[in-house]
Amino acid sequence: MRREFVTVDVFADRRFGGNPLAVVLNADGLSPDEMQAIAGEFNLSETTFVLPPADAAHTAAVRIFTPRAELPFAGHPNVGTAFALGRRGSVFGRALGETIVFEEKAGLVPLEFLREGADILGARLTAPQPLARGAEIGGDIVAQACSLAADDIETRHHAPCIASCGTAFLFAELKTRRALAAAHPRAEVFAREFPVGGATGLHLYVRDGAGGVDIRARMFAPLAGVPEDPATGSANVALAGLLASLRPEADVRLRLRIVQGVEMGRPSLLDADAEKQGGQVVTMHIGGRCVPVMSGTIDI
């Protein structure tokens, strides 16, 4: 059977920036092994597969694969898949409205389109699960895993810790942009120490404030076949929730402009926000622009 696919650069306003994504638009009938093989063939950080929803009230079921494993939820695949479907205007014979809902292993993912007039420029998602804080992890593991000194890790705001709103990551704040730029994943440390607290990915960030940017970030997940990711929506949306949870106010709306992928030559810009009410984070969003790149077919 001929399967149609497109590729999209996500969290970018120009081609060959941001995080590339492959979207298989008519994946019904593919087995998980076939999806994994196709994701390995594309060899991008993620490939998505669009399937009919189990509930007709929803837009589609979406499965997400790295080159090595399936994910329950990921950010740039949702944003890019929504953008790809929005440009087509319909899916499974049904026209799309201003908001859509994807069924995923982590739960339901609502999305809204970002528009300029009649043109769809991108999408913005709502995290499928509440913020979950996990264990604190020793800074020595973080330092070894990313080729840094323990003194490079900032612990005034929080110790390195696990957090998730659908997919777990180990989060560590660094003290300087120099340390962030110098970070380099060590595969042997990841193989020895990860998964840790349910997380296979390590998300490093530094507070910035220059040029309208709040956060600069990098994410390493070599065990998932992603040595470094140009833009990680699922990590950065959880990061927004984590930072909101650490604020002293009982009620706060935190908005963040996050840059990632610069060190890879694929600069990405993500707009994240989290709202805390009564001391609890109640909602988290992340979104950005997308650019179409390629289209084609797979015979399988």
Active site residues: 46
Taking residue 192's Cβ as centre, other Cβ atoms within 10 Å add up to 11
Q: Which two tokens mark 267?
A: 């600069």
Residue 279 backbone dihedrals phi, psi, to 5 degrees: 85, 0
Q: Taking a C-beta distance cutoff of 8 angstroms, is the pair 207, 180 a contact?
A: no
Would you say 170 and 146 are in contact if contact means Cβ atoms under 8 Å apart? no
Query: Cα–Cα distance between 24 and 35 in angstroms, integer?
Result: 9
Whole-Å CA distances, 27 to 23, 240, 266: 9, 33, 28
Report which of 168, 169, 171 is spatially closest to residue 153, judged by C-alpha positions. Answer: 171
The whole-angstrom distance between residue 248's C-alpha and the CA centroid of its chain comes to 27
Question: What is the C-alpha end-to-end distance of the chain, expressed in Å?
Answer: 5
